[in-house]
A = this chain, B = another copy of it.
Amino acid sequence: MKKAFGIDVGGTSVKMGLFGEDGTLLEKWSIPTRVENNGVNIIPDIAASVKEKMAETGLSREEVAGVGIGVPGPVDDSGVTHRAVNLHWEKEFNVAKELSDLLDGMLVRAGNDANVAGLGEAWAGAGRGYRHIMLLTLGTGIGGAIIVDEKIYTGITGSAGEIGHTFISDDTKEICNCGNSGCLEQYGSATGVVRMLREELASSDEPCLMRGTKLTAKDFWEAVKKGDALCIRVAEKFGRYMGRALSVAAGILNPELFIIGGGMSMSGDVVLDYIKKEFEKHIFHACRNVKFVRAELGNDGGIYGCARLVLGNE
């Protein structure tokens, strides 16, 4: 049985995993992401680490099905990335080909990090057994991925699933990181929730468990669970934006399953409950039977999905 490497490139570290053909994670390690000099060392560092691990475990070239790599930027289905700001990559280049060349022509496939995390969940996590899946990661921002029959739906330039930067409401005039205003990310991410909480706190003297604390999404959801009235109002706002956005996504994609991941999903099913309440009000009857679950693989979703890029795609 052939093995595979799954490599998830983040802005500070590169997570690496060695997998068995059946999806078993055999070993996991990480190396620093060297972003200096426009990140020219990142791919060579990864190639060196893969070779080192092969030597260390006595794996021959023939025993490796290939390497999957996820990067934080759009990647089209030929493996070309156009930009990855967090890695200081500013030029367009073929990530898959560059890594493959450094690994003596080994099979390498590349994907966007949110997309491969979605693929990982579909293959080995909360999405096992489902055919049409949309994954959302609710963290500092909002990532999205569409997985159909264990394949990533990339769109024409690798940006499909980018629901975080779709317009949801002009209730805020603040500018989003993307340059537009009114993006879902401004309401539904951890950052968005904290912004709405800060505004709500500033608008009155109403008592609230969060007053005088360092405002974090984690503590916010704890306060919601404890019944804090002000926080519950903010959670309802969060649910209203997210529920509406996901009802639109479901109307367009007709998925079987929404997987909610990212830091905020760790706060429990309460996060899903607020989304579902609004979702139910707007969803078209023909697309109604979609389930909501939380991601299962946490930070490992990416390396699982990367491995899946090169395993079981016969």
Query: Residues of A with Cβ closer than 8 Å to B?
Result: 74, 82, 131-132, 144, 146, 148, 153-163, 165-167, 178-180, 182-183, 244-245, 247-249, 251-256, 281-287, 289
Contacts and interface: CB of A to CB of B under 8 A. Distances in A.
Contacts of A253: 155, 160, 252
A159 B132 CA distance: 12
Contacts of A146: 252
21 contacts: A154-B254, A155-B254, A155-B255, A156-B255, A159-B254, A159-B287, A160-B254, A161-B254, A162-B251, A162-B252, A163-B251, A163-B252, A165-B251, A165-B286, A166-B247, A166-B251, A166-B252, A178-B285, A182-B282, A248-B248, A252-B253
A167 B244 CA distance: 7
A78 to B, nearest CB: 12
A183 to B, nearest CB: 8
B282 A180 contact: yes
A255 to B, nearest CB: 6
A284 B180 contact: yes
A158 B182 CA distance: 31
Contacts of A255: 155-156
A254 B180 contact: no
